[in-house]
Amino acid sequence: MNAAIRAVVRTAIFYDIEVAGIRRGFEGMINGDIIPMGTKSVSNIIQRGGTILKTGRSEQFRTPEGRKLAYEQLKKNDIDGLVALGGNGTFKGANEFITEYPDIAVIGVPCTIDNDLFGADFTIGYDTAINTVIEAVDKIRETAESHDRLFIVEVMGRDSGMIALRTGMGVGAEAIMVPETKSDINALFDRLERGRKDKTSKIVMVAEGDEPGGAFEIGRAIMERYPHYDTRVSILGHIQRGGKPTCMDRVLASRLGVAAVEAIKDGHTGEMAGLIHNDIVFTPFGQSVKHHSEVNAEFIRIVEMLSL
């Protein structure tokens, strides 16, 4: 997100537009936590994870009263354009806001490790997160291999299997379980049995939102059915959300930050800037949050074919 903030601030300055940062997202908008930003305020942040502006979930912004307060603060600070960095919740909120207050132009920049927004092949943070997962699971594989163990590794994704899917292929997982497709524990048993008998290690990648109930539930079922497997569960958790952004993420954030400011300058509003097939495309908020990116069935097929 820092790379996107840097791009927004510097693009605005490039076009002689005054620019301010809102701290802690919509909550900061309501509280008037608004700070002027200059070229130097975004120096040396492109390589840092997290966000210098901080973030937070705002219950108040879900209410018309909260959004009214936010609008008043923007007016008070002479703000007439907003670049909203976030995911589903952010764009749903932004969409309601512009319906009520159309004189504020809002353009979204997709920032979520979940990569679950329609209108963006990749969201900012996803590439960094999947590379963190790959590094961690490669290490886990060494224990699995040395001790002949089966590992259930849980990655983030409350509603989205995008992290599990891509990293599952990247680590050569034996199976992947994601919330978008109905997970059948018996199908998992079949897969584990169909594998090579002399295979010494197995990795099952599970997205946290998978409906049988996450890695511990699946681990319990496997331990009951196969008491002879040496089974372990590993939850990667919040390490997936931090760390040095990859070059892919920095470039994506830079391009989208520039595109967002230029779009506001050109009179756009109510849209999310995203990259589709490497081109900048603008998708209305309503569509970007309603039509989640879909799980690519081809990925599952490839994983199953290659992990024999």
For the annotated catalytic residues, the residue numbers are 114
Residue 114 binds to ligand F6P (criterion: CB under 6 A): yes
Q: Which of these segments, 93-101, 152-160, 214-222, 265-273, binds ligand F6P (CB under 6 A)? A: 152-160
In the complex, minimum distance from the CB of residue 181 to ligand F6P, in angstroms, rounded to a whole number: 17
Q: Of the candidates 81, 157, 168, 257, which one interacts with ligand F6P according to CB under 6 A?
A: 157
**Interface with ligand F6P in residues 174-233 (CB under 6 A):** 208
Nearer to ligand F6P by Cβ, of 9 and 154: the residue is: 154
- Tokens for 306? 């290659």
**Which is closer to ligand F6P, CB of 116 or CB of 174?**
116
Per-residue contact track with ligand F6P, 23 to 42, x per CB under 6 A? --------------------
Distance CA 140, CA 149 (A): 10
Q: Cβ of residue 206: shortest distance to ligand F6P, in angstroms?
A: 13
Distance CA 173, CA 150 (A): 11
Alpha helices in the chain (DSSP H): 2-14, 25-31, 64-76, 88-100, 126-147, 162-171, 185-194, 214-225, 247-265, 285-290, 297-306
Residues 59-98 that bind ligand F6P (CB under 6 A): 87
C-alpha–C-alpha distance, residues 121 and 117, integer Å: 8
Q: Which stretch binds ligand F6P (CB under 6 A): 59-67, 110-118, 210-218, 226-234?
A: 110-118
- The whole-angstrom separation of Cα 233 and Cα 154 is 8
Window contacting ligand F6P (CB under 6 A); options: 73-81, 112-120, 252-260, 270-278: 112-120
Q: How far apart, in whole angstroms, are the C-alpha atoms of residue 262 and residue 243?
A: 29
Residues 276-295 as x/- pattern, contact with ligand F6P by CB under 6 A: --------------------
127 binds ligand F6P (CB under 6 A): no
What is the rounded CA–CA span in Å between residue 57 and residue 225? 41
State the minimum distance, in angstroms, from the CB of residue 88 to ligand F6P.
Answer: 8
Q: What is the pairing mode between strands 20-22 and 34-36?
A: antiparallel
Please tell me the count of residues contacting ligand F6P according to CB under 6 A: 8
Tell me if 108 contacts ligand F6P by CB under 6 A.
Answer: no
Instruction: Name the DSSP letter for residue 292.
Output: P
Burial class of residue 80, CB neighbours in 10 A (0-12, 13-18, 19+): exposed
Among 12, 83, 104, 113, binds ligand F6P (CB under 6 A): 113
How close are the terminal C-alpha atoms of the chain, in Å?
A: 39
For residue 203, count other CB atoms closer than 10 A to its CB. 24
Query: Least distance (Å) from ligand F6P to the CB of residue 161?
Result: 10
Least distance (Å) from ligand F6P to the CB of residue 156?
Answer: 4
Compute the distance between CA of residue 115 and CA of residue 295 in angstroms, rounded to an integer.
Answer: 11
Distance between CA 127 and CA 85 in Å, rounded?
Answer: 17
Contacting range for ligand F6P; rule: CB under 6 A; set: 34-42, 155-163, 264-272, 278-286: 155-163
Q: Least CB distance from residue 30 to ligand F6P, whole Å?
A: 20
By beta-carbon proximity to ligand F6P, the closer residue of 72 and 217 is: 217
Q: Name 35's bridge partners.
A: 21
Which residues are at the interface with ligand F6P (CB under 6 A)? 87, 112-114, 156-158, 208
